[in-house]
Amino acid sequence: MDPESRVFAKLVRSLNDHLPVERKALGELLREEKPRVVCRDGSTHRIRKEELEAIERIVGSRWGKEAERLKLPILIEMAPDYGRSAARIRGRVYCDILQAILGEDRKTTDEMVIFRPDIRRLRRELPSATQYAFLISTS
């Protein structure tokens, strides 16, 4: 990797310092009095109990016990590959949550590319249960 690319990669890593060191399972977070994850920068990120309960309602009926293992927070991946106002959500269960919030039924497998209005709506509904992750292009 050339020096310029290394500097850029380091910058992107620093943009992601707010992300959790390890995401926690929905079931574990629901059992905590004050649900939180530890971030890469050493801070903690609190997730509102109401949001966890809303997620449980959305996925519980369809995914059953598997829903308890759902890892949170939900990552909204931002990358230049998607364009200026687009992001990606990966994972079938995360796509199901997104579709329930948007009131849509898209035919999707494991990922969805969403645009600014949908990103805003998702963040409005689940502000503490979602986080932005910044990615760099591998090509």
Could you tell me if residue 93 is inside a domain? yes
| Bridge partners of residue 81, in order along the sequence | none
Has residue 125 been placed in a domain? yes
The number of folded domains in the chain is 1
Residues 77-116 pLDDT 10s: 998 888 888 999 999 999 999 999 999 887 767 899 999 9
Question: Could you tell me which of 79, 71, 94, 86 has the C-alpha nearest to residue 139?
Answer: 79
Encoded tokens for 64: 């059953």
Residues with Cβ within 8 Å of 109's Cβ and at least 6 positions away in sequence, in order, are 92
Write the pLDDT tens digit of every residue in 43-72. Answer: 999 999 999 999 999 998 788 887 888 999
Identify the domain containing residue 95 by its residue range.
Answer: 3-134
Confirm whether 139 is domain-assigned. no
CA atoms within 13 A on the CB side of 90: 5
Q: Determine the Cα–Cα distance for residues 36 and 18; give it in Å rounded to an integer.
A: 13
Q: Is residue 74 part of a domain?
A: yes
- What pTM was computed for the model? 0.88
